[in-house]
């Protein structure tokens, strides 16, 4: 007999037939019953299983923990060292700038003034700053001699002693490398400047090698020698000069312990046949009260 309550209506939609599939294992875990308990078993390890290492046991340290105990990595160490050097470099530069501010030279504050020595080598300000790589506040620590600037009549030129420039740049490199912390500038200044000069020379050589590799050449330093202009026949104001041969020199002449003049000595024997006529025309004795002077 057909159950009319469960049968589909003739005029209505028919229900879709159930999905008929082959019987297979269910994905849902089966509930264990008292009669048939389910026992889970782990697969036995095989040679075809994954080669992944098992997780460490709670009492075994992991690789991250081992790395932390060994210390920071090499990259972190390099970063820390670079940061330390940067801070150290700023400290050296600050001390050098402070030294320049404290040793700034001003002509009005120097009662004796700056006098150029005869025979010394001088360098103009622009050439000195380029060659020695000096900044304005650094070169302003040196005394200078002013001269007329033919290129700019509204400003004067400045000339600096070459020896003072070498001393300044040696001190600069020594302090920028922190040598003033190892050597006392007051008691070990000579050693401080010597090592600073070595650092400056090494840096200069490296720069010149890089320029030569690019096919360039560094500009040479232009120097000037200080001399006293002489008028013909005069060496000092109001004194007539007399010539003397090359290679001759004067020695003082004493009488009763008092210097009465100077005697001119020749490089060769004046009585020799080859030099008798040549040396005979020179005045050999110069009295102290003479009105002339050897040129």
Same domain? For 213 and 239 the reply is: no
Report the distance separating Cα 244 and Cα 103, nearest Å: 46
pLDDT value of position 234 = 47
Helix (H, G, I), strand (E, B) or coil at 193: helix
In a domain? residue 238? yes
Q: Look up the pTM and report it.
A: 0.53
DSSP string, 70-132: H-S-HHHHHHHHHHHHHHHHHHHHHHHHHHHHHT---GGG-SS---PPTT-EEEEHHHHHHHH
Q: 117 or 129: which carries more pLDDT confidence?
A: 129
Same domain as 178, residue 130: yes
For the chain, how far is it from start to end, CA to CA, in angstroms?
157
Query: Is 201 found in the same domain as 284?
Result: no
- Inside any domain, residue 83: no
Residue where a domain stops, chosen among 225, 242, 273: 225
Q: What pLDDT sits at residue 88?
A: 85
pLDDT tens-digit profile of 147-198? 887 777 777 889 999 999 999 999 999 999 999 888 888 889 999 999 999 9
Domain boundary among 165, 193, 225: 225
Is residue 4 in a domain?
A: no
How many structural domains are present in the chain?
A: 2
Each residue of 242-255: pLDDT tens digit?
777 776 787 888 88
pLDDT classification of 51: cutoffs 50, 70, 90:
low
pLDDT at residue 211 is higher than 50 = yes
**pLDDT given for residue 60 in this prediction:** 56
Give the span between the Cα atoms of 219 and 129, in whole angstroms: 12
Same domain, 111 and 195: yes
Structural domain ending residue among the three candidates 225, 258, 283: 225
List the domain range (segments joined by +) for residue 287.
234-294
Residue 155 sits in the same domain as residue 250: no
* 275 Cβ contact list (under 8 Å, min separation 6): 266, 268, 269
């Amino acid at each position: 007999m057909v159950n009319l309550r469960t049968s589909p209506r003739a005029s209505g939609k028919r229900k879709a037939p159930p999905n008929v599939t082959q019987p297979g294992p269910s994905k849902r875990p089966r509930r264990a019953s008292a009669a048939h308990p389910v026992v889970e078993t782990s697969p036995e390890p095989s040679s075809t299983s994954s080669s992944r290492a098992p997780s460490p046991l709670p009492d075994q340290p992991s690789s991250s923990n081992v790395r932390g105990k060994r210390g920071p990595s090499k990259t972190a160490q390099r970063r820390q060292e670079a940061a330390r050097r940067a801070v150290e470099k700023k400290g050296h530069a600050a001390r050098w700038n402070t030294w320049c501010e404290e040793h700034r030279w001003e002509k009005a504050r120097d009662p004796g003034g700056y006098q150029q020595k005869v025979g010394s080598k001088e360098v103009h300000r622009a050439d000195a700053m380029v060659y020695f790589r000096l900044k304005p506040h650094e070169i302003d620590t040196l005394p200078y001699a002013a001269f007329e600037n033919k290129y700019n009549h509204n400003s004067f030129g400045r000339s600096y002693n070459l020896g003072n420039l070498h001393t300044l740049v040696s001190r600069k490199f020594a302090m920028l490398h922190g040598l003033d912390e190892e050597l006392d500038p007051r008691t070990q200044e000579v050693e401080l400047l010597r090592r600073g000069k070595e650092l400056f020379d090494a840096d200069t050589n490296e720069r010149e090698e890089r320029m030569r590799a690019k096919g360039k050449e560094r500009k040479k330093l232009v120097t000037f020698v200080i001399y006293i202009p002489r008028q013909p026949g005069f060496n000092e104001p109001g004194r007539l000069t007399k010539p003397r041969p090359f290679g001759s020199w004067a020695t003082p002449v004493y009488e009763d312990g008092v210097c009465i003049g100077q005697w001119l000595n020749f490089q060769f024997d004046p009585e020799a046949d080859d030099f008798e006529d040549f040396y005979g025309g020179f005045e050999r004795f110069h009295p102290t009260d003479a009105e002339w002077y050897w040129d």
